[in-house]
Structures are given as structure tokens and as C-alpha cells.
Amino acid sequence: MDELTIAGESFSSRLIMGTGGAPSLDVLDQALEASGTELTTVAMRRLDPAARGSVLDVLRKRDIKVLPNTAGCFTAGEALLTARLAREALGTNWVKLEVISDERTLLPDPIETFDAAERLVAEGFVVLPYIGDDPALARRLEQAGCAAVMPLGAPIGSGLGIRNPHNIELIVEAASVPVILDAGIGTASDAALAMELGCDAVLLATAVTRAQRPDTMAAAMRAAVEAGRLARLAGRIPRRRYAEASSPMTP
Amino acid sequence: MIVMINGTAHEVPDGTTVAQAVRTLTTATAGVAVAVNDEVVTRGSWETTALSDSDRVEVLTAVQGG
């Protein structure tokens, strides 16, 4: 597999995993191993003295780079504080910027996201913003200095796949930074489609962690991302309205 | 004085530091970050930063998410 490069850092896996939704750290560990991921998100929350084990230990053992997110933030101000705390706690200036508009849809708020992105870039963060499938916003965030853009396929945890493949293609066509399809993946064919559309990577969590067999689905996602990437690089045949014989028509 | 540590009120002596507030929750220092009244207090300053009455101390760590 050709390498994915984000902000000058290279990854041989194009599957970025989330850690939310796994029933236990053991199940998560097995799924992460099967996925082959090298970059995985975590959330920042109040320390619980009763918590046993840490997701950080799992990632460290597997030598997976940690990507803190700002999940749960509704304003640019909240996202800024969360990113600064993550940098302090985890020693990374990378952040998946996620500012949501409401709890029912969990859709990203474009205004707050853009505001936070500008301020985080100015503070030296490597910013990967989660956004709607909006080509104009993706372009503006790239111009603002974001290291990648992360358009959704469908709402978080919905498993609805890629609802607007055309917009994802438009984002890919215009982008000079990596495009990472984030949210909405339900099964392997969704991940393959994202890569066929030209996305540079896929980020998913729920589709694996809440599958009946997470490690098996993780292996499926890994294969799907690789297959989709290869198909993209191979260049697919054009779609035709009618048949085109692949065997000679003359006797 | 009363300070809020992760949303819970604590009666603490005057001069209590951020480091002492963190130790009410954990002995760990790696993987943990602290904000007092929405401003990050870097780990190197925990021992020397004294809290004031009504301060809001947030002690965060990474959890499964995203």
C-alpha cells in the first residue's frame, strides 16, 4: 500500500480507527490489531478514579499514534480548551477538531468549527476538522491551514454509508491536503467506496466496535480500504448505458 | 475554602495546590491534564500553583471515544 502522509508524517495504513463503543479494552485491543491501524482517536473526559485500565495503554502497547478529538464540544471555546488539555496530557499537537451542533444529529457546526480551526492553527496545532460533506467549507479550512479535512459520509454511528458520493468527489478533486472520510461507515463496502471516490483514508469506530464480531469486521475494513485504494489507483472503466462485448462478436 | 474538583465541591485548606487537588483523584501524572477556571495549568506548575476559593478544577484524561 502506498503511504498516507499527514503534516509530513507517513502511515502505511489508510484506516484510522476510533475507540468509542467497544465493550471492553480487550475487545478493542483485538480489533485494533486486526485493523492494522497506525493512528487512532481518543476523547478527553474527567478522570474517573474507579476506571480500570486505560485506552492509552492499549495504544502504547500496539505503537499506535494517538489522535485526541474534541468530541462533546459545542463551541469553539470548548474545543480550544479541550485541544490544549489533550496536548498537555498526551504530548501531541495533533487534534481531530469536532464541534457538534446538537445531540440529536451530532452534525458538525461549520461556523464554530471554522472559528476553532483558525485559532488552533495559530497556536501551532495540526488540525484535522470533522465537517459536513461541504466542498466550499473543506476548501476554506484547507486555506486556513488545516492538515487534512474529514467530511462525513453520514451522521456519527448511523452506519448509513456515504449519502452524497458526488460531494465527496468534489471535495477530493479540489483538495491538496488529505481527505479522510469520517463517520457513517456501516460495513466494508462503504469503506471501499470512500477510497474509490478518492479519499486518502477512512476513519471509523462504531462499524467495528459494535459489530457482532469486532475483530473480524476490523479485518474486513482493513481489506476494504486496501481494495478501494488499489481500485482508485488502477482507474476504473467508464460506466456505459449498454453492453460492450469483451469477446469478439464475429465467429 | 471550597473548590470544585471535577464538578464535586471539596473543603480544602488555604494554600492547597493544583498538585494536591489532582492527588485527591489519582497518583498518576502521565496522561493527565488540568484546567483551573478554563485555563490549562501545565504539569510543571502543579506544585507551585495555589488554588483560590471557588476555583473550578478540571482533571482530564484520555478515554475511549471518536
ipTM of the complex: 0.93
Q: Does the structure show a pLDDT above 80 at A18?
A: yes
| A14 lies within 8 A of chain B by CB | no
H helix runs in chain B, sequence order = 18-23
Q: Does the structure show a pLDDT above 90 at A166?
A: yes
Q: Which residue of B has its CA nearest to A130?
A: B66
- Which parts of A are annotated binding residues? 157, 183-184, 205-206
In the predicted model, what is the mean pLDDT of chain A?
96
Three-state SS sequence of chain A: CCCEEECCEEECCCEEECCCCCCCHHHHHHHHHHHCCCEEEEEEEECCCCCCCCHHHHHHHCCCEEEEECCCECCHHHHHHHHHHHHHHHCCCEEEECEECCCCCCCECHHHHHHHHHHHHHCCCEEEEEECCCHHHHHHHHHCCCCCEEECCCCCCCCCCCCCHHHHHHHHHHCCCCEEEECCCCCHHHHHHHHHCCCCEEEECHHHHCCCCHHHHHHHHHHHHHHHHHHHHHCCCCCCCCCCCCCCCCC
For the stretch B3-61, pLDDT in tens is 999 999 999 999 999 999 999 998 888 899 999 999 999 999 999 999 999 999 999 99
| A159 lies within 8 A of chain B by CB | no
Residue A227: per-residue pLDDT: 98
Q: Which residue of B has its CA nearest to A20?
A: B65
Q: Which residue of B has its CA nearest to A85?
A: B33
Active site residue A61: no
Q: Does the structure show a pLDDT above 80 at A1?
A: no
| Cβ distance of B59 and A56 shorter than 8 Å | no
| A208 lies within 8 A of chain B by CB | no
Residue range A23-48: mean pLDDT, rounded:
95
Residue A52: per-residue pLDDT: 81
Cα separation, A149 vs A212, in Å, equals 30
Could you tell me the residue ranges of all domains in chain B?
2-61
| CATH number of domain containing A47 | 3.20.20.70
Q: Is residue A249 situated within a structural domain?
A: no
Q: Is residue A155 situated within a structural domain?
A: yes
| A49 lies within 8 A of chain B by CB | yes
Q: Is residue A175 situated within a structural domain?
A: yes
Percentage of the residues of chain A whose pLDDT score is greater than 90:
93
For the stretch A42-67, pLDDT in tens is 999 999 988 888 899 999 999 999 99
| Closest CB from A20, A47, A56 relative to B6 | A47
Residue B30: per-residue pLDDT: 87
Q: Is residue A229 situated within a structural domain?
A: yes
| Cβ distance of B7 and A46 shorter than 8 Å | yes
| Cβ distance of B66 and A43 shorter than 8 Å | yes
Q: Is residue A246 situated within a structural domain?
A: no
Confidence of residue A147 (pLDDT cuts 50, 70, 90): very high
| B14 lies within 8 A of chain A by CB | no
Q: Which of A14, A96, A222, A229 is catalytic?
A: A96
Residue range A238-251: mean pLDDT, rounded:
89
Q: Does the structure show a pLDDT above 90 at A209?
A: yes
| B2-61 CATH choice from 3.10.20.30, 3.40.190.10, 3.30.572.10, 1.10.1040.10 | 3.10.20.30
Residue A155: per-residue pLDDT: 96
CB pairs under 8 A between A and B: 94
Residue A104: per-residue pLDDT: 93
Cα separation, A134 vs A152, in Å, equals 9
Residue A53: per-residue pLDDT: 84
Residue B13: per-residue pLDDT: 94
